[in-house]
A and B are shown apart, each in its own frame.
Chain A
Amino acid sequence: MFQSVWLRRIHRFLAVWVSVAFVLVIVTGTILAWYATGCNIGAQGNASLMNSTSISDLMTSFQDQFDFIDAIEFDECGHVFVRGEHVDYAYGTWEWDIQLENVIGERQRAASVVQWASILHRSFFLGTLGRVWAAVSTVLFLILTLTGLLLWLKTHGFKLKSSNILHVDTGLVLFIPLCILSLTGLSMSATHFGLWKFKSTESTSQVPDEIEVKDFKEFEIFQAHALAEIQSIDFPFAFDEEEWFQVRFRNGIEVSIDALKGIEMGEIRPNAKSSLLKWMADVHTGYKSLGWSLLWLFSGLASCLAIWTGLQIWYRKKSQIRAASFEEISSFDVALVVASQGGTTWKFADEFKEALGLAGYNARVFEFEKFSPDAIQGNVVFMVATYGRGAAPEHLWNWRNQIEGWISFPENSKVSVIGFGDRKYERFAQFGKDLAEALVAKIDKEALVTSHSVNSQNWAEFQICVDRVCKEFALPKCSVNSQVLADEKSFPLTLQVHNVSGTDSLFWIQFVQVGNPSKKAKSGDLIALESPGSNSERYYSLSVQPDGTYGICVRLVEGGKCSTWLSKLQIGSIVYGRVQINSHFHLMDTDENLIFVANGSGIGPLFGMIASLPDNQNATILWGVRDENEALFAETMFHDARNRGALKSTCLAFSTRPRDGIKYVQDFFTSKDKQLESWTDSTTRFIICGSDDMLQGLESKLRICDADAYQIMRQQKRWQSDCY
Chain B
Amino acid sequence: MKFWLSAILTSVLFFQAGEAPKDKRVRCMIQMKNYDGEGAYIAVGLVDENGKYLKTLHIVGDDDEWYYELEEWWKFHGRKRTSVDGITGPTIAGGERTTFVFDLESEVLNKGYGIRFESGVENEGYYPREIVVPLDTDIPNEKLECDGFIRYVRLLAI
Contacts and interface: CB of A to CB of B under 8 A. Distances in A.
Instruction: Say if A and B assemble together.
Output: yes
Interface of A: 67-68, 70-71, 85, 91, 127, 234, 237-238, 246
Interface string B71-114: 00000000000000000000000000101010000000000000
Given A85-B158, A91-B101, A237-B156, A68 B27 contact: yes
A71 B158 CA distance: 17
B158 A67 contact: yes
Interface of B: 25, 27, 29, 65, 97, 99, 101, 154, 156, 158
Nearest to B101: A91
Given A67-B158, A85-B158, A234 B65 contact: no
Given A68-B27, A68-B158, A246-B97, 17 more contacts: A67-B158, A70-B99, A71-B99, A85-B101, A85-B158, A91-B25, A91-B101, A127-B65, A234-B97, A237-B27, A237-B29, A237-B97, A237-B99, A237-B154, A237-B156, A238-B154, A238-B156
Contacts of B65: 127
A540 to B, nearest CB: 79
Nearest to A69: B99
Nearest to A127: B65
A515 to B, nearest CB: 85
Contacts of B27: 68, 237
A91 B158 CA distance: 11
A70 B99 CA distance: 7
Contacts of A237: 27, 29, 97, 99, 154, 156
A586 to B, nearest CB: 85
Give me the 10 closest cross-chain CB pairs, A-B, nearest first.
A237-B29, A91-B101, A70-B99, A237-B154, A237-B99, A238-B156, A127-B65, A67-B158, A85-B101, A85-B158
A127 to B, nearest CB: 6
A583 B25 CA distance: 100
Contacts of A67: 158
A91 B29 CA distance: 14
A44 B65 CA distance: 38
20 contacts: A67-B158, A68-B27, A68-B158, A70-B99, A71-B99, A85-B101, A85-B158, A91-B25, A91-B101, A127-B65, A234-B97, A237-B27, A237-B29, A237-B97, A237-B99, A237-B154, A237-B156, A238-B154, A238-B156, A246-B97
A297 to B, nearest CB: 28
Most chain-A Cβ atoms within 10 A of its Cβ — which of B25, B97, B99, B156? B99
Nearest to B99: A70
A240 to B, nearest CB: 9
A238 B142 CA distance: 10
A348 B65 CA distance: 67
Contacts of A71: 99
